[in-house]
């Protein structure tokens, strides 16, 4: 009830939620009944949670921020949603996001932007700005996000929250409305590293519904936080992401975090990742290519919106009218880019080259992790920018993802942890840690040491 009251009080200004769960109190009562009946519930039982609208949910709309899915109520729960319900967590509602998770500011939502609780004139990051803002504004203690190129970590950075992108395959993608299937990963958003770890433990694990799901069991992330110890840990600073391209206060807080870790016994070394500079270019070919294919299913027949031209039309005309009305400009831009990149005659030049760059980025990670246990970077180049500032400049928007995209291309896990406020503007700054695939616990060890 306290969280519902808080939502009622502040969400008019923040607009983190697209839908508030009218059955929240009922599910809370249900948790009490399960507990009274002797069911063993985990440490998060009874804790409310906000859910990014990219995840399908029974009983609540799931739009992925798009008009084309307006009013659609899915017939099943995404696996991470099923798991949080089974753990006794109480869904508070669905959070705002850039349409189909394309963006870094939540301004591409078809339902209007979310505002950063630290300064309502500024962006909350994206695509998962709703989840991060809900947690930062104390509307929810925890949230679920999805991260294809930074959509959990970059919003965490600009809202002073914690966000983790797990190892690819660590959390099931079943029921996560696909943006780019080889990059997407669901993960936790929270106010503390321990909270993120507790939620990570709930949602991780094998799922036969996702063919890319890793079958092995995971160690407890919460234990990694509780036993945090960085003495002897080798931390590599990625040289290419520690440059004047980054705002001075962002770099200052980043280096202070490293000093703190060094004071606790970590060894800080510089490492090179020469191919990271091509990661954005490769990502913005691979992502639109996969997205153009994934979004083909919104054909006016199977889901949501159907627009019939006046006087009727053929199947093709209805499909075209529906997609014209149902998709926003960024989604159309990426469908066109992706379709072009995949077309005969261009496939090798664009998609093929991008996949080769992807391999080079993976090799950069492999050689770095031969030398160090984790990598460290600022999470994003600047603190929260003003709403509208980059909306008309897609390239400027894409450049926000320079530090977060490499992890998605390589499938490795990453976390963004608050590192204080930038002195020049008083806005939150995050520091990012990256670990080898399946070594998510290392992120919680380092994050826990900073907390
Ligand atoms: N900003 C990136 C993009 O626009 C990240 C998206 C994401 O992680 N879902 O593609």
CA–centroid distance, 381 to ligand 1, in Å, is 15
Nearest residue to 95 (alpha-carbon basis) of 126, 72, 122: 126
Distance CA 72, CA 59 (A): 10
For residues 407 and 374, the answer to whether their CB atoms sit within 8 Å is no
- Cα(104) to ligand 1 centroid in Å equals 6
Here the ipTM equals 0.97
Residue 432: its pLDDT value, please?
A: 98
Q: Which of 154-168, 181-195, 388-402 has the lowest mean pLDDT?
A: 388-402
pLDDT bucket at 206, cuts 50 / 70 / 90: very high
Residue with tokens 């490293």: 258
* 279 CB-near residues (< 8 Å, 6+ apart): 357, 361, 402, 405, 406, 409
Half-sphere exposure (Cβ direction) of 348: Cα atoms closer than 13 Å? 1
Query: Is 66 among the residues known to form the active site?
Result: no
Question: How far is residue 326's CA from residue 332's CA, in Å, rounded to a whole number?
Answer: 10
Measure 13 CA to ligand 1 centroid, in angstroms: 24
How many whole angstroms separate alpha carbon 356 and alpha carbon 373?
Answer: 25
Model confidence band, residue 192 (pLDDT cutoffs 50, 70, 90):
very high
Atom of ligand 1 nearest to the CA of 284: 10
CA of 396 to the centre of ligand 1 (A): 13
Model confidence band, residue 38 (pLDDT cutoffs 50, 70, 90): very high
Q: Is the pLDDT score of 271 beyond 90?
A: yes
Q: What is the pLDDT of residue 349?
A: 92
pLDDT score for 347: 87
Q: How confident is the model at residue 303 (pLDDT cuts 50, 70, 90)?
A: confident
Mark whether 332 is an active-site residue.
no
Contact 84, 91 (CB under 8 A): yes
Q: Interior CA angle at 275 toward 270 and 281, to 5°? A: 135
Q: Give the atom of ligand 1 at the shortest distance from the alpha carbon of 283.
A: 10
- The predicted-structure confidence for 77-90, as pLDDT tens digits, reads as follows 999 999 999 999 99
Q: How far is CA 263 from the centre of its chain?
A: 31
- Helix/strand/coil for 160: coil
Average pLDDT, the chain: 97
pLDDT reported for residue 210: 98
Question: What atom of ligand 1 comes closest to residue 400's alpha carbon?
Answer: 1
Of the candidate CATH numbers 1.20.1600.10, 3.90.1300.10, 3.30.70.2190, 3.90.1530.10, the domain formed by 2-227+412-450 belongs to 3.90.1300.10
Residue 49 pLDDT exceeds 90: yes
> How much is the average pLDDT of 374-403?
95
Query: Distance between CA atoms of 40 and 377, rounded to whole angstroms?
Result: 40
Active site residue 176: no
**Phi and psi, residue 114, nearest 5°:** -95, 150
Is the shortest distance between the CB of 149 and ligand 1 below 6 Å?
yes
Residue predicted with more confidence, 441 or 344? 441
Q: Which among 400, 398, 363 has a CA at the least distance from the CA of 241?
A: 400
């Amino acid at each position: 009830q306290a969280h519902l009251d808080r939502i009622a009080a502040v969400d008019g200004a923040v607009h983190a939620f697209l839908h508030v769960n009218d059955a929240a109190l009922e599910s809370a009562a249900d948790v009490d009944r399960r507990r009274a009946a002797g069911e063993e519930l985990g440490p998060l039982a009874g804790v409310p949670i906000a859910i990014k609208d990219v995840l399908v949910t029974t009983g609540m709309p799931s739009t992925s921020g798009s008009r084309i899915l307006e009013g659609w109520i899915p017939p099943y729960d995404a696996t991470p949603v099923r798991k949080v319900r089974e753990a006794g967590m109480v869904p508070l509602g669905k959070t705002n996001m850039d349409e189909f998770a394309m963006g870094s500011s939540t301004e591409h939502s078809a339902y209007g932007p979310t505002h950063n609780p630290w300064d309502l004139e500024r962006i909350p990051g994206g695509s998962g700005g709703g989840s991060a803002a809900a947690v930062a504004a104390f509307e929810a203690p925890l949230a679920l996000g999805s991260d294809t190129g930074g959509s959990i970590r970059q919003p965490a950075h600009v809202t002073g929250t914690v966000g983790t992108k797990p190892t690819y395959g660590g959390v099931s993608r079943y029921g996560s409305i696909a943006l780019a299937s080889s990059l997407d990963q669901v993960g936790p958003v929270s106010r503390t590293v321990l909270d993120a770890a507790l939620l990570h433990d709930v949602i991780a694990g094998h799922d036969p519904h996702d063919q890319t799901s890793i079958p092995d069991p995971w160690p407890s992330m919460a234990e990694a936080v509780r036993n945090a110890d960085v003495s002897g840990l080798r931390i590599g600073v990625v040289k290419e992401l520690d440059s004047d391209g980054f705002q001075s206060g962002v770099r200052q807080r980043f280096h202070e975090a490293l000093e703190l870790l060094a004071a606790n016994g970590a060894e800080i070394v510089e490492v090179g990742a020469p191919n990271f500079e091509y990661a954005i270019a490769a990502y913005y070919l691979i992502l639109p290519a996969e997205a153009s294919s994934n979004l083909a299913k919104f054909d006016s027949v199977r889901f949501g919106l159907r627009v019939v031209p006046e006087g009727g039309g053929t199947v093709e005309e209805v499909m075209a009218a529906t997609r014209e009305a149902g998709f926003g400009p960024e989604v159309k831009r990426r469908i066109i880019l992706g379709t072009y990149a995949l077309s005969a005659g261009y496939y090798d030049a664009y998609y093929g080259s991008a996949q080769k760059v992807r391999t080079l980025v993976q090799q950069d990670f492999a050689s770095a992790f031969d030398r160090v246990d984790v990598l460290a970077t600022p999470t994003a180049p600047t603190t929260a920018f003003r709403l509208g500032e980059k909306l008309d400049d897609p390239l400027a928007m894409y450049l926000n993802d320079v530090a977060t995209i490499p992890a998605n291309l390589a499938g490795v896990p990453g976390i963004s942890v608050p590192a204080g406020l930038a002195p020049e503007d008083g806005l939150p700054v995050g520091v990012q840690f990256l670990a080898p695939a399946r070594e998510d616990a290392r992120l919680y060890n380092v994050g826990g040491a900073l907390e």
